[in-house]
Amino acid sequence: MNAGDERSSTHKLKIPRGLYEEIGSQEKIIRLIKVGLLSLGATSLEREIADLIKRTGDLEKCIAELPPEIERFQQLLEEALKDQKTLEKLLDKKR
């Protein structure tokens, strides 16, 4: 097989003969394949969209939960820093 034959064979669709005869014409086959592929593409996009909606929802939930937790740790940190000063002062006094 030369390069030209190889190239042309990649641009050919192999249709099961029974199916070809059932449909009857090349044009109809091409049209059905296109409709089938477009339908598959739409289903695939719908799934991707559903997945994106779910992932966005999960992130929104996380965004809503984090600020109160940050606030809680900020208050604890402020308190710990205040205690640190007191501890240092108490230890320093005794030296």
CB 29 within 8 A of CB 20: yes
Residues 22-61 that bind other proteins (CB under 8 A): 23, 26, 29-42, 44-46, 48-49, 52-53, 55-56, 59-60
The least distance separating other proteins from the CB of residue 4, rounded to whole angstroms, comes to 13
5 lies in the site for other proteins, by CB under 8 A: no
Strand, coil or helix: 95: coil
CB 29 within 8 A of CB 15: yes
If one counts every other C-beta atom within 10 angstroms of the C-beta of residue 60, the result is 10
CB 39 within 8 A of CB 45: no
Number of residues that bind other proteins (CB under 8 A): 58
14 lies in the site for other proteins, by CB under 8 A: yes
94 lies in the site for other proteins, by CB under 8 A: yes
Alpha carbons 39 and 23: distance in angstroms, whole number: 19
12 lies in the site for other proteins, by CB under 8 A: yes
Residue 25 DSSP symbol? -
Q: Rule CB under 8 A: which residues touch other proteins?
A: 8, 11-17, 19-20, 23, 26, 29-42, 44-46, 48-49, 52-53, 55-56, 59-60, 62-63, 66-67, 69-70, 73-74, 76-77, 80-81, 83-84, 86-88, 90-91, 93-94
